[in-house]
């Protein structure tokens, strides 16, 4: 019965469902529904990334053991009752700027992070963002519907602000070198103003100048003129670092984009 149920859902173009829905459709007790679904999980036909939430693995994806996370992230976040957007390296990849395929699927949520979710061989990691409501996002079509992702400009802001999660400064400047083609100068200035974080403006402005993209950084250089000197790389020592009078950063790192 459970097998027929998930085939019917696939026929409707659906790839996710809850245990509660399955129990209602199968007209059985919660315990019986759980056991039926558990057998399908063991058979590789379902994955349960979150208690009571199931992802159907169609035949074309069974060798991988899971659907691409883009196919079910929107439904998963709805089940978690969490506002979200796909961000950082995963958003950069969506915008054609992932130098290497990210090893995890990165999702931004409001404030505190929650534990990562493993779905088959996919790790979904959640990153809490304080100024979440200031983020500009866009809807991206997927084979199963839509998902929400950061705009190129918000992606650039997040990469600099959450540099460690993005693989460090060298990786950030490499991605920025590719993402720059998708950035709009006026939208980037608006992103800087909306977030109101001078440290990010200083560091991002310096990195864009380093990439010879002053056409993108010129719109917000006036925002940092009264800013104190701050290190370019917050994880590196500042001893002996020279300063940038334009961006008011201590150049304590020499990031270079990967060829």
The pLDDT tens digits of the residues spanning 63-102 come to 888 899 999 999 999 999 999 999 999 999 999 987 677 7
Alpha-carbon span 183 to 161, nearest angstrom: 17
Same domain, 109 and 197: yes
Q: Are residues 246 and 225 in the same domain?
A: yes
Claim to verify: residue 128 and residue 53 sit in the same structural domain: no
Is there a single domain that holds both residue 196 and residue 114? yes
Last residue of a domain, one of 43, 61, 79: 61
Q: Answer yes or no: do 187 and 243 share one domain.
A: yes
Please compute Rg for the chain using Cα positions: 22
Q: Is residue 224 part of a domain?
A: yes
Query: Which H or E element spans position 107?
Result: strand 105-110
Residue 113, pLDDT > 80, answer no
pLDDT of residue 207: 97
**What pLDDT is stored for residue 41 in this prediction?**
93
Range of the domain at 19: 2-61
User: Quick one: 160 and 184 in the same domain?
Assistant: yes
What is this structure's pTM? 0.93
Residue 83 lies in a domain: yes
Residue 259 lies in a domain: no
| CATH code of the domain containing 57 | 1.10.10
CB 22 within 8 A of CB 3: no
In terms of domains, do 51 and 84 share one?
Answer: no
Say what the pLDDT of residue 34 is: 86
Q: Which of 17, 42, 61 is the C-terminal boundary of a domain? A: 61
pLDDT value of position 25? 87
Neighbours of 231 (CB within 10 A): 18
Is the pLDDT reported for residue 39 higher than 80? Answer: yes
Q: How many domains does the chain have?
A: 2
- The alpha carbon torsion through 37, 39, 41, 45 (nearest 10 deg) reads -90
Q: Does one domain contain both 46 and 80?
A: no
């Amino acid at each position: 019965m459970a097998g027929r149920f998930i085939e019917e859902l696939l026929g409707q173009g659906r790839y996710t469902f809850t245990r509660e829905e399955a129990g209602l459709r199968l007209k059985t007790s919660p315990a019986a529904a759980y056991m039926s679904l558990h057998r399908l999980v063991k058979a590789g036909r379902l994955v349960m990334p979150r208690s009571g939430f199931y992802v159907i693995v169609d035949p074309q994806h069974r060798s991988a053991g899971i659907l691409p996370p883009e196919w079910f992230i929107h439904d998963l976040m709805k089940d978690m009752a969490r506002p979200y957007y796909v961000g950082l390296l995963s958003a950069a990849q969506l915008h054609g700027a992932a130098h290497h395929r990210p090893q995890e699927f990165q999702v931004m949520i409001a404030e505190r992070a929650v534990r990562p979710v493993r779905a088959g061989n996919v790790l979904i990691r959640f990153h809490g963002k304080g100024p979440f409501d200031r983020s500009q996002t866009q809807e991206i079509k997927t084979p199963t519907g839509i998902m929400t992702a950061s705009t190129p400009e918000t992606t650039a802001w997040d990469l600099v602000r959450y540099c460690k999660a993005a693989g460090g400064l060298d990786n950030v400047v490499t991605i920025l070198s590719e993402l720059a083609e998708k950035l709009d100068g006026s939208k980037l200035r608006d992103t800087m103003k909306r977030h109101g974080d001078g440290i990010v403006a200083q560091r991002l402005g310096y990195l864009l100048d380093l990439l010879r993209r002053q056409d993108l950084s010129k719109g917000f250089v006036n925002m940092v003129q009264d800013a104190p000197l701050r290190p370019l790389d917050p994880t590196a020592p500042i001893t002996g670092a020279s300063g940038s009078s334009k961006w008011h950063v201590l150049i304590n790192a020499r990031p270079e984009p990967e060829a």
